[in-house]
Amino acid sequence: MENRKVRVRFAPSPTGPLHIGGVRTALYNYLFAKKNKGDMILRIEDTDQGRYVPGAEHYIIESLEWCGIRFDEGVHMGGPYGPYRQSDRKELYVTYVQTLIDNGSAYYAFDTSEELDALRKELEAKKLQFQYDTHTRNALKNSLTLSEEEVKRKIQNGQPYVVRIRMPEKKEIVVNDMIRGRVVVNTSIMDDKVLFKSDGMPTYHLANVVDDHLMKITHVIRGEEWLPSAPLHVFLYQCFGWESTMPEFAHLPLLLKPDGNGKLSKRDGDRLGFPVFPLRWTDPVSGEVSSGYRESGYFPEAFINMLAFLGWNPGTEKEIFTLQELTEAFSIDRISKSGAKYDQEKAKWFNQQYLRMKSNEEIAHLFMPLLTTKMLHPTMEYVIKVIGLIKERVSFISEIWDQSFFFFVAPEKYDEQTVKKRWKEETPAIMKEVGAILMSIEPFDKQVAHDAVMQHIETHNLGTGAVMNCLRLCIVGAAMGPDMFEIISMIGKEESLRRIEKAVQIIA
């Protein structure tokens, strides 16, 4: 293995939108490949034609591009080991399944699904479980029990069949997993899995082993759900005589629900109000729309940083990593064996950190379209100043308006709790006095304005909280926002006075 160039693959099935667990698998493959100066391949595993969903393959590619995960070869770009879509490699698998039949590692099975279902129900009634395996196959309709002539006749007559792996009796299969260590499974508990289906398509088990071998894959990094299949895959390498070039395996821990009970699903996202897909997805059959991280306002680099930490850690206190830094820090031995709980607040925190790192100019450009939809056309210079005052208060671009609207429009309503608590009989007169002070300052200077208002409060023994909270209510409409004199300086003293007069009229 030492002399082979590292080659990994991300091999999703186009059966719907890409779950964030799948994105994390792609990310870990990417980081491992790039850390080891290797290649990353995108292969589409569409052997299960019954579950194929139109648009899913395009969605997968667009999602990974948005995340910044780049490939060296793949279904969308070609390469020396193509085609990279399994349905385009259909003819190729026939040769390999024949190799297994010829060397006695696989056999034809003619049992219908109805016959197997009936057998399953019969055994269930006796509280037993049915498995097509070393114990049952000799009593079923297959090329191990039928004569060679009968098998040939059935195939020539077009009778449907599947090809099954022929598991040996009581053989120990060892899977050396890079995350979980040595896993030993006895074949006596394994079933004779279907390798080739009656529709002429291979199953995942055959196709992925053949493709990984032909594409010279050195490391298979995939989800924990494939760990039970790993002994079968190791056995297939042995059957083909490919043990010396068999890839190393790493089975990643599950992404768990926020409470840790079970695998994170779309329903959890719907229930708790967060996306579980990278991009918005519209189901082509039902029309149901599922939210995406991109449309929810997450930056791709924040999303990727958050995902990297769900199951891996760098062993330091540092949490903010660029993709390049993640690549340099990544190692398989720092991946956890146990599942990682999804934390919505932490996801928001990552986005907030990335927003804060962006320049005020960049954020202003991202915020401008929202102002345009509100028929507001401030100068870019003005918006940049506003961003500088409020960007520490938000986690998403979409939250900026709620934290800054008063820089662009006068309040239409006034927070009832603040009015009830702060607005007294003498407040209108005090507000008019403050307005007069602001108007008298020429040229306007926020520090001079601050000192003059504070002097007035002290001289008349008015109480800073009482005055400033009511002034904020007049200017902003609520007890929120940055420094009061910053706001007045930005919107101008004339606009400030208009707002004071309007508030005095409306609240009274």
E strand map for 35-180: 39-42, 73-74, 106-109, 162-165, 172-177
Specify the residue for token string 């006596």: 188
User: Is 121 one of the catalytic residues?
Assistant: no
Task: Provide Rg for the chain, Cα atoms.
Answer: 33
Q: Are 294 and 278 in contact (CB under 8 A)?
A: yes
**Strand-pair partners of 335:** 312
Helix (DSSP H) and strand (DSSP E) numbers for the chain: 20, 14
Contacts of 338 (CB under 8 A, 6+ apart): 253
* CA pair distance 243, 236, nearest whole angstrom: 9
Give the active site residue among 35, 90, 171, 266: 266
Sign, CA dihedral 37-38-44-45, equals negative
Neighbour tally for 141: CB within 10 Å: 20
CA angle 316, 358, 361 (to 5 degrees): 170
Q: Is 218 exposed, middle or buried (0-12, 13-18, 19+ CB in 10 A)?
A: buried
Give the sign of the dihedral formed by CA 216, CA 191, CA 197, CA 45.
negative
The end-to-end CA distance of the chain, in Å, is 81
- List beta partners, residue 125: none
User: Which CA distances in Å does 77 have to 41, 202, 308, 402?
Assistant: 10, 24, 26, 43
Separation of alpha carbons 291 and 283, rounded Å: 11
| C-beta separation of 265 from 351 below 8 A | no
* Phi and psi based region of residue 435 (left: phi greater than 0; alpha: psi -120 to 50; beta: remaining): alpha
Q: What CA–CA distance (Å, rounded) separates 121 from 5?
A: 50
Burial of 158 (0-12, 13-18, 19+ CB in 10 A): exposed
Structure tokens at 179: 């995350």
Catalytic sites, residue numbers: 266
